[in-house]
Amino acid sequence: MTTTATLSKKDFQTDQEVRWCPGCGDYAILSAVQSVFPELGVAREKFVVVSGIGCSSRFPYYMNTYGFHTIHGRAPAIATGLKLARPELEVWIATGDGDALSIGGNHLIHTLRRNVGVKILMFNNRIYGLTKGQYSPTSELGKRTKSSPYGSVDYPFNALSVAIGAGATFVARSVDVFQQHLKQTLKAAAAHRGTAFVEIYQNCNIFNDKAFAHLTEKEVRDDALVELENGKPLVFGKARDRGVRLNGTELEVISFADGFGPQDCLVWDETRPNPAIAFMAAQMDSPRFPVPIGVLRKVDLPTFESGMSAQIQRETEKRGAGSLDKLLVAGETWTVHEDGSIS
């Protein structure tokens, strides 16, 4: 019915009125996803967008695919069941920092460790938006919000570190306003067969405006961010005159003015089986380090659903398709005959 060749962005837009606040970063993410989906060569009816609760989780209503707006934190669990039942579907999860890392933290890490073939887009705005402005598990220490009038005393989660620590096979970060980078990251996620975890820095212009401005504004971004590109050295700066090198067991920023050059920088390899360096990169934070965007980790491992299907297939081949008659009479049975005798 739907032929993938003719799909366009418009095919993924719904007639529902989008109800995010004007100026919200979610619009940009929606636009990027609607642009990328038609390019994936997948029929529209094969897409399912699953979400939890929060501003980001309204996402499925605005995507003209199958969609399931579930309950707070549970999207990964629901998506896991769906993917196990229907491995051929393209299952994407839209979630936020509170949804994924707080109430749903357990489901997130277990989905990642199992390597379920779903894509997780975690919109990180470092605030609870839908409940009107409480600090979130990614809010910075000392943050003043309605629920932390004297400053938050919670140490924040680093989402990428959590994902890498949980054994994620694909971990990336992008930014709502970097449309090209975001689309390219989404495509890389789509091409990964295991769980793809993408943290998207997203501005909440109502409750946490400019949370990422120090990283993403035009004037500062080249100095504040480093783009990870597979096979390329970690060079950054407006003049591309600085880099990150591995010195012993530590990453450090080096300045080419001090006699260093690109050849001294760490060459990014997203496919390293050992997650240690990806974890160190995830920990890079301003102002000491440039903050990394791009793909931190991409390793190929069999998926959870393929392992489950393989067992079913193997057992069916070995034992033959189950017979209900045989199943019921399994074990020790006896027969009572019409004359009352027993055998």
69 binds other proteins (CB under 8 A): yes
333 binds other proteins (CB under 8 A): yes
CA angle 93, 95, 99 (to 5 degrees): 130
In the complex, least distance from residue 167 CB atom to other proteins, rounded to whole angstroms: 13
Among 32, 78, 121, 163, which residue interacts with other proteins (rule: CB under 8 A)? 78
Q: Residue 244: which residues within 8 A CB-CB, separation 6 or more?
A: 226, 234, 236, 251, 252, 253, 254, 265, 266, 281, 284, 289, 290
106/230 with CB nearer other proteins: 106
In the complex, least distance from residue 245 CB atom to other proteins, rounded to whole angstroms: 39
Q: Provide the 8-state DSSP code for 284.
A: -
Cα–Cα dist 93/80, whole Å: 10
Rule CB under 8 A: which of 105-124 touch other proteins? Answer: 106-107, 110
197 close to 120: Cβ distance less than 8 angstroms: yes
130 binds other proteins (CB under 8 A): no
Cα–Cα dist 196/300, whole Å: 11
Among 64, 95, 124, 303, which residue interacts with other proteins (rule: CB under 8 A)? 64
DSSP states along 48-91: EEEE-SSSGGGGGGGBSSEEEE--TT-HHHHHHHHHHH-TTSEE
Quickly tell me which residue has 């998506």 as its tokens: 79
Q: Residue 140: which residues within 8 A CB-CB, separation 6 or more?
A: 126, 152, 156
Cα–Cα dist 17/198, whole Å: 26
Among 34, 56, 80, 115, which residue interacts with other proteins (rule: CB under 8 A)? 80
Among 8, 86, 132, 210, which residue interacts with other proteins (rule: CB under 8 A)? 86
Rule CB under 8 A: which of 168-227 touch other proteins? Answer: none
51/216 with CB nearer other proteins: 51
Give the binding range for other proteins (CB under 8 A) out of 152-160, 222-230, 267-275, 323-331.
323-331
Which one, of 216, 31, 201, 54, lies nearest residue 125 by Cα?
Answer: 201
10 binds other proteins (CB under 8 A): no
48 binds other proteins (CB under 8 A): yes
53/215 with CB nearer other proteins: 53
Distances in whole angstroms, Cα of residue 8 to Cα of each of 4, 60, 179, 215: 9, 18, 17, 32
61 binds other proteins (CB under 8 A): yes
In the complex, least distance from residue 45 CB atom to other proteins, rounded to whole angstroms: 5
- Paired tokens of 302: 């069999």
Among 23, 81, 262, 302, which residue interacts with other proteins (rule: CB under 8 A)? 81
324 binds other proteins (CB under 8 A): yes
Binding site for other proteins (CB under 8 A): 1-2, 14, 16, 43-46, 48, 50, 53, 60-61, 63-71, 74, 77-86, 88-89, 106-107, 110, 308, 311-312, 314-316, 318-322, 324-325, 327-338, 340, 342
